[in-house]
């Protein structure tokens, strides 16, 4: 522990050997507890002592890709597909803004039915009505498209690299779009987006060293938002029989990432919460400072099953839980909730 903390104190980051040490920690190690505590301190010092609550609108579950792990893959015939209309999406964002969410994340499969103009319209309207930051999580689109979205007012993009190990990436992505994805990620920074990425824990053939490389890659590419989730086996996908990713290892990865990239915006992920909601809250003790709540209308949400049994993370419950655990939601969220305290019947 001393070794890692000393290195961090001197360098404001840690290196591969330290990351692997953190990833290797066992649940009952005293060292693990200690390092999580330090990660928590780093979070406070480098990101302000606030937990950001971001709202996700899953506006379409159509996808043209066939990632082997994902329930929404194009070739899965058992998905009841839906698309929300642009005005429906805008309306959900308007409603959600009342709660003082820190960001609206527009998420979907890779769905070309929405043209660039459609997305520009949606982004513009949400910006106009709510002035909330808009984040895009819509997969790969052309450089030109992403430039248009930036001009329309989107400021963040989430595009997970999933794994930086090329071999593993190719084994789980029939489209084999490794180079394009990395290039796109680089391009986002130059366009002026705050860029998010992330990886999956527990992929076939993955080692601790691979996960360390994922974290180092994100540091090197100046990735500012980092989503790391455990692999969840999912019916009707080629990886349905592959075992679930370890939740302990995922929490270790949060801790290591906080040491390696101290200013990261790092959600404790819904995938972890799907293993157990308590585990997701434990993420806050391992260095996470973001949680994403689901604001997709229920009729649609129930069909957005990227993986099996995906939980709904609710705004109210999450807001209360954060406070109960002794963490603070952002000032804007607290203010809005204060204003709404007596207004009943507002439930998402
Ligand atoms: N288990 C865990 N995470 C998954 N994702 C997709 N399928 C799974 C799964 N089975 C994650 C990927 C992807 C995002 C849409 O969800 O990281 O980027
Ligand atoms: Fe489509 Fe994303 Fe699922 Fe891949 S992970 S199949 S791109 S929704």
Residue with the nearest Cα to atom 4 of ligand 2? 67
Burial readout 153-190 (b: 16 or more C-beta within 10 A, e: otherwise): bbbbbbbbbbbbbeebbebbbeeebbeebbebbeebee
Q: Is 127 in the pocket of ligand 2 (CB under 6 A)?
A: no
Give the closest ligand to the alpha carbon of residue 271: 1
**Smallest CA separation from ligand 1 atom 18, residue:** 160
d(CA 303, CA 294): 13
Using the mean position of ligand 2's atoms as its centre, give its distance from the Cα of residue 108 in Å: 9
Helix axes 16-23, 247-260, angle to 10 degrees: 150
Q: Report the separation in Å between the CA atom of 199 and the middle of ligand 2, taken as the mean of its atom positions.
A: 13
Does residue 346 surpass a pLDDT of 80? no
Give the pLDDT of residue 348.
47
Residue whose CA is at the smallest distance from ligand 2 atom 3: 70
Residue 235 CA to ligand 2 centre (angstroms): 15
The number of C-alpha atoms within 13 Å of 130 and in the hemisphere containing its C-beta is 30
CA 330 to CA 26: how far, in whole Å?
Answer: 32
Tens digit of each residue's pLDDT (9 = 90 or more) over 146-173: 999 999 999 999 999 999 999 999 999 9
Position 173 scores a pLDDT of: 98
Mean pLDDT score, 5-25: 98
Whole-number pLDDT of residue 339 = 87
Contact 218, 261 (CB under 8 A): yes
Query: CA 80, 280, 302: angle at the middle one, nearest 5?
Result: 15
Which atom of ligand 2 is the closest one to the Cα of 306? 3
Is 72 close to ligand 2, i.e. is its CB under 6 Å away? yes
Q: Please work out whether the CB of residue 47 comes within 6 Å of at least one atom of ligand 1.
A: no
Q: Which ligand has the shortest distance to the CA of 202?
A: 1
Assign residue 156 a region (left: φ > 0; alpha: ψ between -120 and 50; beta: otherwise): beta
* Residue with the two structure tokens 């969410």: 101
Alpha-carbon span 157 to 151, nearest angstrom: 13
Bridge partners of residue 292, in order along the sequence: 54
pLDDT score recorded for residue 342: 62
DSSP per-residue string spanning 317-340: HHHHHHHHTT--B-HHHHHHHHHH
Residue 239 has pLDDT above 70, yes or no: yes
Reported as type and span, the H/E element at residue 295 is: none
Ligand with smallest separation from the Cα of 159: 1
ipTM of the complex: 0.98
Residue of 61, 57, 59 lying closest to 304 (CA atoms): 61
Centre of ligand 1 from the C-alpha of residue 6, in Å: 35
| Pocket flag, ligand 1, residue 200 (CB < 6 Å) | yes
Longest CA span, the chain: 55
- Indicate whether 184 pLDDT > 60: yes
pLDDT at 195: 98
Binding site membership of 70 for ligand 1 (Cβ less than 6 Å): yes
| C-alpha distance across the termini of the chain, in Å | 43
Å from CA of 346 to ligand 1 middle:
31
For 85, counting Cβ atoms within 10 Å of its Cβ (0-12 exposed, 13-18 middle, 19+ buried), the class is exposed
pLDDT digits (tens, 9 = 90+) for 58-96: 999 999 999 999 999 999 999 999 999 999 999 999 999
Strand partners, 136: 106, 157
What are the start-end ranges of the E strands in the chain? 52-60, 103-108, 134-137, 154-158, 194-201, 225-230, 290-294
Tell me how far the alpha carbon of residue 153 lies from the centroid of ligand 2, in angstroms.
25
Name the DSSP class of 37: H
The per-residue pLDDT for range 119-144, each reduced to its tens digit, is 999 999 999 999 999 999 999 999 99
**Burial (CB count within 10 angstroms: exposed 0-12, middle 13-18, buried 19+), residue 110:** middle
Measured from the CB, is residue 329 less than 6 Å from ligand 2?
Answer: no
Q: In whole angstroms, give the CA distance from residue 288 to residue 119.
A: 30
- Phi/psi of residue 134, each to 5°? -110, 130
Cα separation, 11 vs 15, in Å, equals 10
Q: Is ligand 2 within 6 A of the CB of residue 109?
A: yes
Is the CB of 67 inside a 6 Å radius of any atom of ligand 2?
A: yes
* Ligand 1 atom closest to the CA of 198, numbered from 1: 17
162 CA closest ligand 2 atom index: 5
């Amino acid at each position: 522990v001393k070794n890692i903390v000393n290195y961090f104190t001197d360098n404001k980051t840690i290196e591969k050997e330290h990351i692997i040490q953190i990833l290797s920690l066992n649940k009952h190690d005293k060292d693990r507890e200690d390092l999580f505590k330090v990660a928590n301190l780093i979070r406070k010092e480098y990101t302000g002592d606030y937990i950001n609550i971001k709202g996700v609108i899953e506006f379409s579950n159509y996808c043209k890709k066939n990632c082997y792990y994902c329930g929404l893959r194009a070739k899965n015939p058992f998905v009841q597909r839906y698309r929300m209309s642009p005005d429906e999406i805008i309306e959900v964002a308007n409603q959600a803004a009342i709660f003082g969410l820190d960001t609206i994340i527009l998420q979907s499969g890779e769905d070309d039915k929405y043209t660039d103009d459609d997305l520009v319209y949606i982004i513009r309207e949400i910006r106009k009505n709510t002035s909330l930051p808009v984040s895009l999580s819509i997969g790969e689109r052309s450089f030109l498209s992403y430039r248009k979205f930036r001009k329309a007012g989107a400021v963040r993009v989430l595009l997970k690299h999933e794994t930086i190990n090329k071999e593993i990436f190719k084994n789980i992505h029939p489209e084999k779009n490794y180079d394009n994805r990395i290039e796109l990620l680089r391009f986002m920074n130059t366009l002026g987006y705050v860029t998010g990425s992330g990886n999956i824990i527990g992929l076939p053939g993955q080692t601790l060293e691979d996960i360390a490389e994922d974290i180092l890659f994100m540091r090197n590419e100046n990735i500012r938002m980092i989503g790391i989730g455990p692999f969840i086996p999912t019916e009707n996908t080629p990886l349905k029989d592959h075992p679930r990713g370890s939740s302990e290892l995922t929490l270790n990865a949060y801790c290591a990432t906080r040491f390696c990239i101290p200013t990261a915006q790092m959600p404790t992920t819904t995938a972890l919460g799907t293993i157990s909601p308590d585990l997701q809250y434990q993420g806050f003790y391992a260095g996470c400072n973001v949680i994403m709540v689901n604001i997709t209308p229920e009729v649609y949400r129930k069909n957005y099953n990227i993986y099996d049994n995906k939980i709904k993370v609710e705004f109210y419950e999450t807001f209360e839980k954060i406070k109960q655990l002794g963490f603070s939601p952002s000032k804007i969220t607290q203010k809005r909730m204060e204003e709404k305290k007596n207004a009943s019947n507002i439930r998402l």
